[in-house]
Every structure is written in C-alpha cells, then in structure tokens.
Amino acid sequence: MSTNRVHTFCRICEPYCGLLAEVEDGRIVSLRNDKDHPIHKGFSCHKGIQYLRVHQDPDRLNYPLRRCNPRSEERGDFAQVTWDQAATEVGARLNDIVQRHGDKAIAMYTGNPIVFNSGFFANAEALSAGFGAGPRFGALTQDCANKFAGSEAIYGSFLVHPFPDLLHTDYFVGIGCNPAVSHMAFIEISDPMAKLRAIKQRGGKTVFINPRRIESATPETGEVLQIKPDTDFYFLAGLLHEIIFKIGYDGERVGKHAKNFDELIEFVKTWPAERAAAVSGISLETIREIAREFCAAPSASIYMSTGVNQGSQGVLAYWMLQMISLVSGNLGKRGGNLYCVGFCPTAQFTRRKQDQPFFDTEFGELRAIAGTMPGNLMPELLESRQNPVKALIVISGNPLLSIGGEARLRAALQGLELIVVLDIYRSATAELADYVLPATDFLEREDINTLGLGHQLEPHVQYTPAVVPAAGERRDDWWILSRLLQAMGRPSLLDDPQPKPFGAVEAMLQYSGLSLDKLKQLPCQTAVLPEPDPEELFRFGVQNDDGLIDCCPQLFRRGYASAEEHWQGLLAEPKDQLKLITRRTPLMVNSWMHNLPVHKKSVHMTNPLWMNPRDAESRSLFAGDEVRVQTDFGQVQADLVLDETLRPGVVAMSHGWGQSKAYGLSTARRFPGVNVNQLAAVGPGSFDVLSNQAQLTGINVQVIASSP
C-alpha cells in the first residue's frame, strides 16, 4: 500500500493554514498541520484538522436530490436523480419562470464558504449574471457589509482594507475581535497570537476593546478594556477627537494623500471623548491615555472585527478607524496599517462605479453592497410586487439560520416556485429545497488562496490539487452552476470542450510572472512574495479618480442622525438594561461544523446564554436554569451558563445554532440549540442604510426564568 503525502491548505477562514494530507488507496487517512509550509510552519487550528471529519461525514450529500413531497411539509422527502435529470428539470423550470415573470425572477444567495473557493469566486460575476438581474443576497450583510461600504466610500474600492502591520507595530488596538478563537478576518495572517505576543516581547503594547475578557488577552499579549456593546463608534470618534484637537495630527501626510479634511474636522467636533465616556463604559481618562499612547508610539496600528461590524454604527466606526490611522500618520506606514498587492493588484477591478448608489424601490431608497441586497429585507424583496421573485438559488449558504427572523423568511421561501440549493450538507435551508445538489468539499477540489489579496501580512500564494477525487457524484460549485446555465441554453464555462474555471486565476497570477504550473513545481506549491511596501496603499489601493483618500464621504451623512439618536437612546436606558452580544466559541464556525460529534462536548452541546454571575445574582438566576431571552422581535429558551469574563450587563449567545429542522444532519439535530438570530430586528428600517448590514450584536434583551 502506498502512502501519498499532499500539501494542501484549509479553507475555513482567512489564514488558509497549510495542511498535510496522507492518502492511501485514494482515501485520506490523516490530515495534519503542515510543518513544512514556508509561511505557516505548522500553525493551524483544530477546525482545519477536524475538517477531515466533515469530509468523511456519512451525512454528506453524494447525489443530486429531487423533492417528492410538497414544500409545505417541513421535512423533505428526497429522491436521488442523475445530474442530467436534475439539470434538465431545473433548467426547464427556470426558463419557464423567466418567460412568465421576466429577468428579475431568479434570486441568489451566497454563503460565506464560497469566498474560499477560487474556482467559483474568480467566475462569480459571470456565473451570477448568467441567471439574470434578480436580487442577490449573501452572508455578507450579516457580518461585514459595513467594511465594504466604508472602504468603497473612503478609498474608492470595496476591497481596500488597510490591515494592522502586526509584524512591525509598536502599538496595537484590536476592537471587537478575538484572534485566539477566530484568527482574524480581513487580514490573512498566520498564527495571530504569536504575532501579538511578539509585540509585547519587543517592548510594544496591545490593547483589546471588547465587552468580554477574551481568550486573546493574556499576560503575554495585553489587556481588555471592557466596553459596553455597540458603543465602538463613539469610542473611536472620541480617540480621533483627542488626536485632532488635543494631540495634533500629521497635517503634511493628510494634505498629501487625502481630501475633505475640513469636513471631517467639522464632524469630529461633534463627538468629543466626553460623549464617548458617557456611553461606552470607558473613562475619559482612559480614552485620552490610549489616544496619547497611540500617537506617541513609533508606530501604531488599529483593527476592528465582527463585534463592531454587527453593531448599529459599523460604517461610521470603520470610517473613524481609518481616519485615526491617517491623521496619526500611521496609514501606509511600516508598523501602521498597510495594503498589500500580493500576486495581483485587485482593487482596480472593484472601483466604485457611481458616487450615489441609492435607487428607489417600493421599500424606499436602497442600495446594493458588492452587489448584495439587505438580508434583513430578503422576505420583502422575494415577495416584491414590482419585481416578483419566483426562484432562489442558494450557494453554500444557510439563509434560514444566518438571516434574522427565521419564521418570516421560512414563509417567504415557501411562497417561491422553485428553490435549488448547492451544498455539501442537507442544511436547514436545503430542507426547504426542490433540488439539493451535492458540492465538493475543500479536500476534493483544486484551489489557490485568492481571498487574502490586498490584505496579506505575509504575502504568498499556494496552489492545492484536489487531495482526493470527489466522492459519489459531488461536483464543484462552478460546474454545477454552469451545468444549470447550459441546461437553460445560456452561455457557460462548459461551452469550452476543455472548461477553464481557473482561466481568470491564471490571468491574475501572470501579473507576478507566476502560473499554476510554476506553483506546482514549488515546495508546498507555494510562492513566497516580498513583504508589502507601505506605499502600496497609495499606489495600488486608493481608487478614487483623483488618487486621494476621501476623509468625509458625502454618503456618510445619511448615518449622522442615527449615530446621534443611538447615543441619546443609550443615555436614556435603564442602568440594568441587559445587552446581548454574539460570541463565537472555539468549537464552531457559523453553521458550518455543527454535525461533528467531537464538538458536542460540555456546555457546547447546546447554545447557552452566558451571563455574568453578578447579573444572575441580582435576578435570582442560577447556573443551569432554563431562561427565556426576549426582545421586541422574538424569544428563545436557553440554559444559563455563568461567565465572569463578560462585562456586567452583557449576555452572550452564539450564532449558527437552531438545527432542529435540519433533518439531514443527524448530529446537529440531536444537539439543535436555538437560533439567536430570531432575536434580531428584521424588515424595513432594521438595517444600516449605508451598508445593508444587519444588527446582530448589542441588542437589548430581557432575561426571565422560564416557569418550571
């Protein structure tokens, strides 16, 4: 028996950790962290390694399925069909729908996993356009749309996100992030905790801002300032106010690279640090001290993540963050915040097309963000009278659990004529589908790490072959969508007798004189690229026509009133108001890995409500109590777990649970937990108009003991 070792990489989150697979007789017998990888040098987390269990999971989809019972029945009765049958039938029904209802009748939803799939992602625009002009939805508006909207307005491209140069920085502020558990988003970084420890070792400092004493804060990294949820914008504005009005800013740098600075000053004037201190739970003195330290450090960098994104002021917070970096002289500077071209400068492909993106709809003025409509309006848009949607194609996504208001969305989905789901599992959403089409997992498809382009701390590009051939009749997502287009009689990648899903990737590699063939010759099929030149931000990042960073985009004015209103609301709140935040535990990633028995241990067998012991005591609640968590929008039952790492007044639950109706997932269904997104506001007026971002954290809740 021969053992074949294949260097590959994980595609669950941004680090793209190197993995080493051992294959015997066409089967993967082990999956480990890859110690030979030139960048990761053996770093990975357990999720990457445990993905082998996803690959081997007996609940995985292997064949195209067609529903035999009406969709009104909660549990799907599915029968195996051939690819030809599935494609022909779906193609005919889509054509019929388009003929009767027009070009906007097919909607699409893309989940997060697809962005780690370069064969699909490089062709995403063409594949999506092939299905017409119906609304597009995605996980994007649930966790990071504010960053896209912010950078598009400031830099002119939604893909420019200057990241903290953690290899050189002397001072790091990390807000609403937990690198030890989530390994950071919008920066491709290997072993973030090692980088954070190194900051302290070289005499620098890290400060975390988070309502929870996160795992990332250790004596070897830095402390957490326990901020009140959803007040990050005020905190950041307070820092900026201190820098501009008290400490002094780098006027020369601002003049050289930016415009509309006077308007920014006007805005910031209205948000002094005193106002931040009044609502954030961080004292005026501390805010001032951080501003002073940030400016005094030889270099300083700043970063925010999902905890801020999912709040109510995510765009404005991201704006303040960019401006702090700019005016303190740290933007585009070694040790500050950087942009990295990597193997291809991609910002130019995503240049802002119009300054005023809003258009009139029956639901008021709306915009798309990176082509994506608000998830919080998904039911309304599907039921639109002006542009009725009749079919939905879901690509590796689980909107039923990811978007708020599960029951409302379920009803809207039930009203559609046709639902087609491409996935590796029969997910909760797939349970509602007419056709469920089996996709490959990351061990079954070739790929390169394209997502990190623009924000790689240690730039490199790795190719992986499919480690093993696809099991059953699983197919790559690009192939499945192309096959459906082909069946509709529309152009697709399959028109070429030798389809080239990696054609676009090859073209990008050429920019650096690379090719897939060249990568295949290198150790771990990986090319290590030079570290970013700090000036790359100004040369390749900024995409505004005049080459200048916009310090005060006109567009943001639409958010000013809501920032003021929210601040007033916070001041008026009762002192004991509980605030719900969402928390990712080490044993989960959204709704991805809920079917692995290995993760169903101790408190992680369900989705508990975590509460500070002081709050429990004052409410006469005890660990293990069953409690009802309720908002104006919904309620869920959960078991109470005491957690003194939470700031008093803050409770936490995790997103991605609520699997009781996922009949195809035997483990997840045995440990269903509740869907916390049922507590979030949905519908018109519930999302940030600037970015379509839903508010999923900092939600006011009531917690009551369930009657025994």
Partner 1 sequence: MTFVIAAPCVADYSCVEVCPVDCISPGPEDPEFQEAEQLYINPQQCIGCGACVEVCPVVAIYSADSLPVRWQHYAEVNRSYFMRRTKTDDVPRGES
List residues near ligand SF4 by CB under 6 A. Answer: 10, 12-13, 15-17, 44-48, 183
Sole window of 211-219, 274-282, 343-351, 399-407 interacting with partner 1 (rule: CB under 8 A): 211-219
By three-state DSSP, how is residue 289 classified?
helix
**Subset of 11-40 contacting partner 1 (CB under 8 A):** 32-33, 35
By CB under 8 A, name the one of 23, 38, 41, 50 that touches partner 1.
Answer: 50
By CB under 8 A, name the one of 586, 613, 648, 683 that touches partner 1.
Answer: 586
10 contact partners, CB below 8 Å, separation of at least 6: 16, 17, 18, 19, 44, 47, 48, 51, 442
By CB under 8 A, name the one of 79, 133, 598, 704 that touches partner 1.
Answer: 598
Whole-number minimum distance, CB 491 to partner 1, in Å? 44
Whole-number minimum distance, CB 32 to partner 1, in Å? 6
User: Which entry of ligand SF4, partner 1, none binds 15, CB below 5 to 8 A by partner kind?
Assistant: ligand SF4
Report which residue type is found at 670: R
Whole-number minimum distance, CB 215 to partner 1, in Å? 6
Give the residue carrying structure tokens 């909660």: 74
Residue 611, beta-bridge partner list: 642, 651
Decide if residue 46 touches partner 1 (CB under 8 A). Answer: yes
User: Which entry of partner 1, ligand SF4, none binds 602, CB below 5 to 8 A by partner kind?
Assistant: partner 1
Buried b (16+ CB within 10 A) or exposed e, 575-596: eeebbbbbbbbebbbbbbbbbb
Decide if residue 587 touches partner 1 (CB under 8 A). Answer: yes
Distances (CA, A) of 552 to 349, 540, 547: 23, 21, 15
Tokens of 338: 């950087």
User: Which entry of ligand SF4, partner 1, none binds 13, CB below 5 to 8 A by partner kind?
Assistant: ligand SF4
Whole-number minimum distance, CB 4 to partner 1, in Å? 15
Whole-number minimum distance, CB 177 to ligand SF4, in Å? 14
Q: Residues 84, 480: contact at Cβ < 8 Å? A: no
User: Which entry of ligand SF4, partner 1, none binds 296, CB below 5 to 8 A by partner kind?
Assistant: none
- Closest CB to partner 1 among 189 and 290? 189
User: Which entry of ligand SF4, partner 1, none binds 220, CB below 5 to 8 A by partner kind?
Assistant: partner 1
**What distance in Å separates the CA atoms of residue 412 and residue 682, rounded to the nearest whole number?**
13
Whole-number minimum distance, CB 49 to partner 1, in Å? 4
R_g (Cα) of the chain, nearest Å: 25
Count the residues of the shown chain that bind partner 1, applying the rule CB under 8 A: 29
418 contact partners, CB below 8 Å, separation of at least 6: 90, 93, 94, 97, 390, 391, 392, 434, 435
Closest alpha carbon to 111 in 421, 346, 446, 441? 421
- Closest CB to partner 1 among 253 and 604? 604
- Closest CB to ligand SF4 among 372 and 449? 449
658 contact partners, CB below 8 Å, separation of at least 6: 401, 406, 428, 607, 672, 673, 674, 675, 676, 677, 678
- Closest CB to ligand SF4 among 15 and 111? 15
DSSP state of 550: E
Q: What are phi and psi of 243, to 5 degrees?
A: -65, -45
Whole-number minimum distance, CB 192 to partner 1, in Å? 11
Closest alpha carbon to 465 in 521, 424, 520, 523? 520
- What is the pairing mode between strands 609-611 and 650-653? antiparallel
Over the window 535 to 574, marking each residue x when it contacts partner 1 by CB under 8 A and - when it does not, the resulting string is ----------------------------------------
Residues forming contacts to partner 1 in the complex (CB under 8 A) are: 32-33, 35, 42-47, 49-50, 180-181, 193-194, 197, 215, 218-220, 585-587, 598-599, 601-604
